[in-house]
Structure 1
Amino acid sequence: GYMSGFGNEFSSEDPRCPGSLPEGQVKTLPGLLLLFIHYYFLINNPQVCPYGLYAEQLSGSAFTCPRPANKRSWLYRILPSVKHKPFTSVPCGDLTENWNEVEPDPNQLRWLPFTIPKTSEKKVDFVAGLHTLCGAGDAKSRYIFINEKHFHPSFDLILFLFQGEILITTEFGKMMVEPNEICVIQQGMRFSVDVFGETRGYILEVYGAHFELPDLGPIGANGLANPRDFLCPVAWYEDRKVPTGYTVINKYQGKLFACQQDFSPFNVVAWHGNYTPYKYNLKNFMVINCVAFDHADPSIFTVLTAKSTRPGVAIADFVIFPPRWGVADHTFRPPYYHRNCMSEFMGLIKGHYEAKEEGFQPGGASLHSIMTPHGPDVDCFEKNSTAELKPERVAEGTMAFMFESSFSMAVTKWGLHTCQKLDKNYYQCWEPLRSHFNPNWKPGKQ
């Protein structure tokens, strides 16, 4: 099950343990000896939690943050997460935060869909399936980077699929994620991923800020992503041990570390707070669009934003281009030619992106770096320069997205060379553009 709302103060308890959520105060368990106290005393003593549970707070913000920005949840669990063996370093595979492996490349970059290993090869799990494509910043001081293909935890991350489905088990409960849905796992939240068949998708990982809904300004009270359409899981606990133990993988300062524990990390019986994982179906996005003339900036399609300290400048915006009506008149409707002070990483979940119907494929990606020019290919420009401007459906059956960031992205060696999916002919989609300049032009003449 799920509960709806974005950033709400939620409370949930596993129905197998009614009354496991303390009322009115956070109760603590001072020592193991109390576990031997009579059950009746245990559940009625204000010094201990019901059912002999441990109370553990997960803080997503500084304690003294203003109330609207203060993020925390209380978890009532069978054993606290502190009970584990020491962390040891493990291989990172194609995860990296070394932005100096290759020289900077300011060109327009596009990738074909990434390859899924053949069935005859060794199966790839969630962690091994991660590949860092591009990113920026220093992990020790917090930053942003983008992963492509499968997923893994660290700071706040937003992940979504274009093929397959996954079951995400978190300390707060379970979430099934299918194509056209996004899932956000916030900093410090432990989770595991069950993959069903061949599965591919994208991840945006953000350090230094939490995702939030963008301000609506003149749009008013309604529009874009509505808070009630975001879903967070209900409490579900697992109380079991396995002979080989559990491996918990932690991402710290850009490296992977693993520790062992003999009990399930998902042993939370009840929880309450406003710091939770959540998911959202992109079909619920209420599109705002032009109804007169011109082409609005893509900021009107922002689902979530991770703000920087500069007003109006994001560490990362998550933007989508969903099906909608195009009705603007006396104008060129598709996206305009553009140079931007932000980095723009785009991907396609399904369908055909209207500005580049050929070459940009589901499961692929493109990167237009800061101040690198980009825009419609020649076919899109020619077609829409002479098209009859009548109301029409745009992007029917399509879902494209963009990660827009104020950081200058460095592409990894894997992204430029190892993956062998870089489309080296991408620039050719603009090569046939020709001059239409006419110094003798007069109004009314073409």
Structure 2
Amino acid sequence: MNLLHRPAALDTARYMSGFGNGFETEALPGALPVGRNSPQRCAYGLYAEQLSGSPFTAPRTSNERSWLYRIRPTVAHWGTMRPADAGFWRSAPSGEGADVPPAPMRWAPVPVREGAASFLQGIHTVTTAGDAGAMAGMAASLWLCNRSMEDEVFWNADAEMLLVPQDGALLLRTEFGRIDLSPGEVAVIPRGVKFAADVDGPSRGYLCENYGGAFTLPERGPIGANCLANPRDFLCPVAHYEDREMPHRLVVKWGGRLWETEIGWSPLDVVAWHGNYAPYKYDLRRFSPVGPLLFDHADPSIFTVLTAPSETPGTANIDFVIFPDRWLVAENTFRPPWYHMNVMSEFMGLIYGQYDAKPEGFKPGGISLHNQMLPHGPDVDAFEGASRADLKPHKLEGTMAFMFETRFAQRVTDWAAGLPQRERSYEHYGHALRRHFDPTSREA
């Protein structure tokens, strides 16, 4: 049975905890109807509107919807739509990157340039995968912004959005309430949810657009009922509404393109809501890692925070994986990630600290791409150091790397391929690995 929460107004309670639960919250007392979803007359002269993130007939365990009680329904916000400039934002299939050779790729951090750019204007797509129209695949982008979305509101009809800030905080003003977001935290904005992003200075981060099924917690299997990401650490905002009768720009991403119109008020006007389809945030430092306690190297899937499943059991449309602070204790084991080729493609970013498999070249704010069935692994310094290390218990501290992992090959955009921050020598980092083979001696 779903849990229901009725918190106080925003000034006394900011978030509700729990993943996938049903919630109810109101910014004005009595704004939520009792015992029914769409009464003949809503309190305060509000309109009832249902936002569905799944088909109506989806099983109860996967049925996602929320009822919103708002000053105007979304259809009243709808003006004459015209194409908007998408800048460097791309959707799959983009048609770009066909001539980029298959190889490991890496980029140094891309700076936030001078000049005012909002969150929307600052989205620069690095890779696309799958097909947004077929509701399969993803796109991975950077946002590089230094201006708040004043009198501007957006929603994405193509994708669920996972935001991973790396430098600088965001205030997400969503129609469900407000979310403060800082490096070390992530937020998910479901498909169709309106929001604006405010900043106080430059902000840089990673954006994953999920075209497929919604993110959810992975099954723990033999791990049992505890560890990894715990549902109670996921936070939803409480109701907060804007009653601002002044011109706003409304932008929608639909069919791989941006569309815009003007309206005379803020569409972030939800006074109360209840349901289980809502934006949320999570502090990555609350992830409880598990790992090998005696020998050998577990698969990186043990670090999965969220997964977006596909129609093939056990094969994700996207896995969101992190590499946080943790103890390394395995004996007689090569402790960094091993050399491998994978059916999943891996887009990796570094939020802060140092990544153990690339101790020198991979910097916070940087990107690496190891695509489907292409070889990758530790660089020569990491290999030589780990092969000779005294294997005492060792704690990795002050580090937070992540991966967007997908079953699709990721195509690099023209913008990313041409960046001066692209480290072209990285494609050949494996050449520095020396031959150690000696058939006359078993001792390496």
Superposition TM-score, scaled by structure 2 size: 0.92
Q: Which residue is 1:304 aligned to?
A: 306
Distance across 1 between alignment mates of 2:376 and 2:38: 57
Distance across 1 between alignment mates of 2:340 and 2:130: 25
Conserved in 2, the CA contact under 8 Å of 1:110 and 1:426? Answer: yes
Change (3 A) 1:21 1:150: farther
Residue of 27, 45, 53 corresponding to 1:52: 45
2:99 pairs with 1:106:
no
Distance apart, 1:99 and its partner CA: 3.2
What letter is aligned with 2:291? N
Conserved in 2, the CA contact under 8 Å of 1:127 and 1:150? Answer: no
Q: Which residue is 1:206 aligned to?
A: 210
Residue of 108, 112, 115 corresponding to 2:111: 115
What letter is aligned with 1:329? E
**Structure 1 stretches of at least 4 aligned residues deviating more than 6 Å after TM superposition:** none
What letter is aligned with 2:437? F
Q: Gaps spanning 5+ residues in structure 2: where?
A: 1-13, 146-153
Residue of 182, 186, 193 corresponding to 1:189: 193
How many residues are aligned here? 417
Change (3 A) 1:392 1:153: farther
2:35 pairs with 1:24:
yes
Distance across 2 between alignment mates of 1:201 and 1:189: 20
Distance across 1 between alignment mates of 2:206 and 2:300: 20
After superposition, residues 18-417 of structure 1 pair within 5 angstroms as: 18-28=29-39, 47-83=40-76, 84-97=78-91, 99-102=94-97, 103-118=99-114, 122-143=115-136, 144-150=138-144, 153-154=155-156, 155-242=159-246, 245-394=247-396, 396-417=397-418
Distance apart, 1:382 and its partner CA: 0.5
Distance across 2 between alignment mates of 1:149 and 1:282: 20
What letter is aligned with 2:25? S
Conserved in 2, the CA contact under 8 Å of 1:20 and 1:50? Answer: yes
Please give the secondary structure, in 2, of the residue aligned with 1:385.
helix
Distance across 2 between alignment mates of 1:403 and 1:138: 16
Distance across 2 between alignment mates of 1:236 and 1:164: 24
Q: Which residue is 2:436 aligned to?
A: 436
Distance apart, 1:358 and its partner CA: 0.9
Distance apart, 1:427 and its partner CA: 3.2
What letter is aligned with 2:42? C
Q: Which residue is 1:32 aligned to?
A: none
Report Cα offsets for 1:255-275 as digits up to 9, x if no partner.
000122212111111000000
Distance across 1 between alignment mates of 2:160 and 2:308: 10
What letter is aligned with 2:172? I
Report Cα offsets for 1:333-372 as digits up to 9, x if no partner.
1110010011011000001100001111111100011111
Distance apart, 1:153 and its partner CA: 4.7
Superposition TM-score, scaled by structure 1 size: 0.91
Report Cα offsets for 1:397-442 as digits up to 9, x if no partner.
110001110001111100101x322101113432221111111224
Change (3 A) 1:241 1:139: same
Please give the secondary structure, in 2, of the residue aligned with 1:115.
coil
Distance apart, 1:202 and its partner CA: 0.1
Distance apart, 1:138 and its partner CA: 2.5
Distance across 1 between alignment mates of 2:202 and 2:243: 30
Please give the secondary structure, in 1, of the residue aligned with 2:44.
helix
Q: Which residue is 2:3 aligned to?
A: none
Distance across 2 between alignment mates of 1:153 and 1:86: 16
Please give the secondary structure, in 1, of the residue aligned with 2:384.
helix
Deviates more, 1:103-112 or 1:213-222: 103-112
Please give the secondary structure, in 2, of the residue aligned with 1:431.
helix
Distance across 2 between alignment mates of 1:69 and 1:139: 21
Q: Gaps spanning 5+ residues in structure 1: where?
A: 29-46
Please give the secondary structure, in 1, of the residue aligned with 2:273.
strand
2:22 pairs with 1:9:
yes
Report Cα offsets for 1:207-245 as digits up to 9, x if no partner.
121000000000000010000000000001111211xx1
Conserved in 1, the CA contact under 8 Å of 2:112 and 2:144? Answer: no
